[in-house]
A and B are shown apart, each in its own frame.
Chain A
Amino acid sequence: MASISVRDLTVERGPNVVLAGFSVDIEPGRLTGLVGPSGGGKTTLMRSIVGVQRIVSGEVTVLGEPAGSMSLRHKVGYLTQSPSVYGDLTVRENLEYFAQVLGVDATRIPLVIDTVELNHRASARVSSLSGGERSRCSLGIALLGQPPVLVLDEPTVGLDPVLRRDLWALFRRLADAGNTVLVSSHVMDEAERCDHLLLLRDGRLLADEGIPSLLARTHTTNVEQAFLALIDGAAA
């Protein structure tokens, strides 16, 4: 059973078609990677799933409800690409406020701070943090309510290799526990860590499959080559 279902989704911004009417199903219990060149529509697709994107036509349902429904607002954790946190509050104060908004018990806060490895910075004002720390604070907010659906837009940008490895291990655990985890990335070695890949280019879906099938179909040996083959094929 798909937990996210996108049907004939079209999004336009001014004269530009950002998403050109495609359908896709995203399954729980696996790590789904959303990859493709920047400007291809990754963020727009994620915003549509979260329900903050104005769409032209089509339908997006999450856990059987229309995207953005009141009942989903506890169930979908969304990490925006640029960290949406209050720079003039500390890490802990940010989490305290969002916990209140989500109706999450305050005992979750130290656990989340630990998960995103910000223990040593918990009392620091967010504006004084590095870019990577700030985005981890933002990720912490997305994880607060233990939502069954996680939509993470480039969660590992600007992080060092050790942290990236730890976060991908976390995403893996969350997916294995039965959650729906959708992660966008433009780094191909990260795509290799996913169970299932969606390749989005110019608002069109070029691939929607697991890695073995993708490699077999494109007669390639790694994901990067497979994408180049698909993109060259689509351009031809």
Chain B
Amino acid sequence: MNRTIGTATRVLKQLRHDHRTMDLLMMVPVLLMALISWIFPKPVFDHIGLAMLGIFPFITMFLVTSISTLRERQSGTLERLLSMPLRKFDFIIGYQLAFAVLSLVQSVLAVGVAVWLLDLQFSGPKWMAILVAMSVAQLGTALGLALSALAQTEFQAVQFLPAVIIPQLFLCGLAIPRDQLNDVLRPISDVLPLSYAVDVLNGVSDEPTLSSQTWEKFGVIWAFVVGFIVIGSLTLKRRSI
């Protein structure tokens, strides 16, 4: 347990030294939320704004994790750690914990500004918006760590954003409601994790008390998190060529 928390603390210390990254992580979602509230009329903002609260952490945590774990793979620190008494679990959960802390701060800020300053309105509880944002951040972290194994350079890692994230943005129900997608795209959107995040946030938008379907979909997000963590752990090899 010490090693897991030690790893999380170390990841956070690395980011803390990087003031500009920290500022961007915290301020960009807030500023984008303000921009969206300015662009769209009120009812549309209520719908899109809430969904964006779940999408920002997915994208930012995905990028930060894939770059930082790629660096660990390249600089030799990962190999060094795996030659020490560190379990793969310590490494992965360390990252997950670090970004849980970060996404908590990020989403409290974003939800706070959206609700109190920009008058974002939704029926469900505010804490649920934060909980979903944090869960989606966990999804981004786990996916970023697993995919970093496929990238040999940071350029490649960044290209996973348009390749992996943007199709999900189109299919998650934000652009067109998922039940209006055609017969080919609908089943695809059913197996993409971001679709469930937007479904849950639609539930938070409409349901004063969350329905059991919404909770099931929330469970699906976490099933994806666990699945990506397992895949990520398979990419951590103690022995390499």
B82 at interface, CB cutoff 8 A: yes
- In the complex, what residues of B have CB within 8 A of residue A146's CB? none
- In the complex, what residues of A have CB within 8 A of residue B77's CB? 84-86
A76 at interface, CB cutoff 8 A: yes
Contact of B76 (CB < 8 Å), options: A51, A73, A80? A80
A51-B239 in contact given A101-B85, A102-B85 (Cβ < 8 Å): yes
Contact between A93 and B10, CB atoms less than 8 A apart: yes
A82 at interface, CB cutoff 8 A: yes
For window 151-203 of chain B, which residues contact chain A by CB distance below 8 Å?
none
A132 at interface, CB cutoff 8 A: no
A168 at interface, CB cutoff 8 A: no
**Stretch in B12-20, B48-56, B220-228 with 4+ CB within 8 Å of A:** B12-20
Contact of A52 (CB < 8 Å), options: B14, B75, B239? B239
A-B contact count (CB 8 A): 77
Contact with B along A41-81 (1 / 0, CB 8 A): 00000000011111000000000000010100110101010
- In the complex, what residues of A have CB within 8 A of residue B82's CB? 52
Interface size of B by Cβ–Cβ distance < 8 Å?
26
Interface size of A by Cβ–Cβ distance < 8 Å?
30
B219 at interface, CB cutoff 8 A: no
A100 at interface, CB cutoff 8 A: yes
A102-B83 in contact given A68-B238, A82-B76 (Cβ < 8 Å): no
- In the complex, what residues of A have CB within 8 A of residue B84's CB? 73-74, 98, 101-102
Q: Which residues of A contact B (CB under 8 A)?
A: 13, 50-54, 68, 70, 73-74, 76, 78, 80, 82-89, 93, 97-98, 100-103, 125, 141
Known: A52-B83, A78-B80, A86-B14. 10 other contacts (CB 8 A): A50-B83, A54-B239, A73-B84, A74-B85, A93-B10, A97-B6, A101-B6, A101-B84, A103-B2, A103-B85
Q: Which residues of B contact A (CB under 8 A)?
A: 2-3, 6-7, 9-10, 13-14, 17-18, 75-77, 79-86, 90, 238-241
Chain A to chain B: the 4 pairs with minimum beta-carbon distance, closest first: A84-B76, A100-B6, A84-B80, A97-B10
